[in-house]
Amino acid sequence: MRLPNLFKKKTSREIAKDRLKILLISDRAGCSPEMLEMIKQDIAKVISKYMKIDTNNMEIQISKSTARGRGKNPTLYADIPILDLHN
């Protein structure tokens, strides 16, 4: 198993890719990139009380999905790498 390099500085390409992802997600969800960043920070704050997470590689997505006869509703998907569980 390979451990991620947590202290590696992101390249400008990786930063640009992350910004583009945030822009696309916010456009699809109809909310601003600032709002998505706030949501991401809030999620990280709450979850980090219970486990150690890798916030640098955390990804969130908001999409519109159909819920059993209720039309399209926004749905939040979060990919949060867990580094360790607090006991």
Instruction: Report, as an integer, the average pLDDT of 18-33.
Output: 72
**Tokens of residue 49, six digits:** 């009380």
Residue with the larger pLDDT of the pair 5 and 25: 25
Range with the poorest average pLDDT among 13-22, 33-42, 65-74: 65-74
- The tokens describing 80, both together, are 């949060």
Averaged pLDDT, 4-24: 74
| Interval 15-20 mean pLDDT | 79
pLDDT given for residue 32 in this prediction: 74
- How high is the pLDDT of residue 87? 53
Average pLDDT, the chain: 77
CA distance linking residue 8 with residue 13, whole number of Å: 14
